[in-house]
Chain A
Amino acid sequence: MTITPRAMGVAVDRFDGAAKVRGEARYAYEQPVDRPLYLYPLTAAVATGRIADIDCGAASAEPGVVAVLTYRNATRTAAIEDGELRILQSDEVAFRGQFIGGVVAETSEIARHAVSLVRVDYEERPHDVELREGRGDLRVPREVQPIFPMDTAEGDVDAALASAPVRVDQTYTTAWNNHNPIEPHTTIATWTGDRFTFYLSTQGVNGIQAAVAALFELGPDRVRVISPYVGGAFGSKARPHADVVLAALAARLVPDRPVKFALTRQQMFSQVGYRPPTVQRVRLGADAGGRLVALAHESIEPTSKLQEFAEHSTRATPTMYAAPNRRTRQRLAALDVPTPTIMRAPGEASGMFALESAMDEMAIACGLDPIEFRIRNDAQRHPHFGLPFSSRNLVACLREGARRFGWDGRDPTPGIRRTAGWLVGTGVAAATYPVLRLPGSMATIRVGPDERYTVLIAAADIGTGTWTALSQVAADALGVRVEQIDLRIGDTAYPKASNEGGSSGITSWGSAICEAADRLRDELARHGGAVPADGLEVTAAMPENPHISRYAMHAFGAQFAEVRVHAEIGEVRVRRQLGVFAVGRVVNPKTARSQLLGGMTMGLSMALHEQSVFDPRFAQVVTQDLATYHIASNADVGAVEVHWIDEDDPYVNPMGTKGVGEIGIVGAAAAIANAVHHATGVRVRDLPITLDKLLPAA
């Protein structure tokens, strides 16, 4: 059943706006607690090996130090599968920067200083950190979701390539990127007798609860996790990381005292995951009419030895273009490095840089306009699964974008437009992201005779606007005004919710709320349509979507960019970005626009700036702060236009939403790289596009 939009579609200001602009919204670390203690971590100074000795004497003797934590006095945790979380259980060191202990003290200054007094001796082992094509141990990643097949093959790619009149065969690389939410990962952990309470910055309180409960072998009811506001996440706060475990271990040493723990910016580069670098080879073959006859996309990526994570760079490729002969292939190398994790549009962001750069190269090779070339190769049914799309508006996005951007009449010749010493160019790329629903969400709705509806669900707002948009969904699900909704999220005391991730929040939580609203209507009917004096309460789980097996469900988009490149110096400035998206129903145009805009800007940042430089000698990211790991600053961003087309998709979920959190970053880097080529004639296939790659040779 679909619901009628009344509150949905209205550009409401954020409900938490006033609290945030005054700085009075309390993030995890800022929650008022009594007599807090401060934790500072001790990290491994070798890449691999074992701890031969730890001397905590000087640290313990420091006035104000309450406890020194090492593997020797840490609680033994259960041997769960996720190796990233098994810290302080032995003398082993798995990567440089890994937590091997910590100091708990009365002030943050004392804790940090005392850690520098702990002396650690190591027995170092040689480490293995280099990702190469020729490694003998490359392996196929585990499949995580059936809609992301690891390797796909259709037809005879090699033969089709060999006989194709036009061919492109190029290798593209993307850099190691770190999420770097401006709020670092923070925790306040308290152990009282037999239970934990956490204030924590996370994309999913239930995931944290489950991990801690499993590690410490507690019932989930003895782990409460509260996370009202989250200062950005982008995937780093989706899965539990070792910081939560360290805070919990510390709290166990000092019962009844809240332990406050904030990662430093430097530690954010080794503790909370990252987007792994990729090496991708794309081969395309086209016929004389500009139709793809073959498409091959292969990627290799690193993961850690502790826990597998794959970026799935080729995962969007089988959705994009109709080519009778296709192959995708992903391989992983497990290295002595920190564990990578999901980062905004994992797979699509890196993979679509390669595919959409190659599509631009192919359009040029075919002598076709890149928009026309994409339209010719648009797929009618899902090329891999053979299913019809619940809705597919890639072509509409490309056309609408072309119109708004002023694409018509574009001279494709590279390197010929110049103003005041700057070369000017424009570029386009396609975007896609699947409509994901994560299982496990439930919602409770309570109504009193005053006609106020309390909606409870352990969902998260990481800046996505959940507080506002989910209230709008609830209002329409219940057929009431949004002012009547009192939404409560971010607490395991509420019904379980899936993670804020994969742009699935509104889809998953909203579906559960719609189901609960239906139940409430039934209950009301049973009470003769009137709310009884003591109110009503219902709880419902997200229902199955019967359409899932019948349709392929994806959002699409078109990204445009105009760049200037300094002819002598090579600096790149993105003057203008324009995105048109087909994302189903837009619940709150204001917050949705911000999400798409934020994604596009993060795409610009990925294109021009972001690169964690990993030094293999030390097995460490050496650009581990915001002065050396650059993210786009205000001055790097020009005009950004965001549009969407009306899209009515009755199959995806009752709200008709497809998710807006990730698709904004997809294709943005390719559009910029393609524009750089148009401006200069130089094809940059390795991100980021730094000025050395554009500096004239002579």
Chain B
Amino acid sequence: MKRIGVRLAYFVRTAWRGLRASPVTSAVAVMTIGISLVLVGAFALLLQNMESLLDKLGGELHVTAYLEDGLTQGQQQEIAHLIGTVEGVESVSLITKEEAFERFRRGVGRGSALLEGLADNPLPASIEIALVASRRSASGMAMVVASLDGLDGIDDLASGQDWVEGYMRAVALLRGLGVGLGAILALATLLIVANTIRLAVFARRDELEILSLVGASHSFMQTPFLLEGILQGALGGGVALLLLFALFRVVLPGFEFGLELVLGGVSPRFFALGESLALVATGAGLGLFGSAAAVTGGWRT
């Protein structure tokens, strides 16, 4: 056990010495990993937030049935009752013409003075239809809309169906792009780390020759390089995390409007601790694979 501790200390010391021996190449590798992970991380952040918007919207998805003008209150309530019995409908609530107007006035706020001149209330009465959980999706909504279509007294049916479908497609597209970009960047990062470590092996060939002559095993000679790769990767992951956080805090608030557009009411959320660690671990993993590719070619003594 003691031996293992002694070895580990030696490996860490040697890896650290290796990093410091070539600060420029090491820094380039760290920054490359960092920038790659910033790009991938930014995608992940965007997707994560867009998905949480979808989740949130899921609970609020509803279908609105606009009623024909001229129906009596009793008729309106009858229609609402009828809709309430349709499969997939959880609950209904009737919005009268007056309520609709009141909502609109409040929504417009200060500009409401403009509405004073309006002689007639142009807004129709409507019925807000909440869906059971299993129908809270684009296709679920489509089914409910289809079974309400053509019902007497209903002028028009509106749902977020098209919008939700588009949004889901956008999320899927972004995810695909993110995965593709991630794969390309991972490959580039691996190549850069492998190259950096290969240079380090070359720079230390005298040391390796002597180590081999005094009886060092391959793994004894290789481990510090693997650790060096892991260190570079983890540092790159840390750099990426800091950059992402800075972007999130400093740059994002400047794009409030655009953000509102993609995220709706959801306030943007940064990575949690576990996800942050995963980003650093991804860097470390890339570093490990890159350096492993560099050193497992085997070297001659």
The answer to whether A and B come from one shared complex is: no
Where the two chains meet, the residues of B that have a C-beta atom closer than 8 Å to any C-beta of A are none
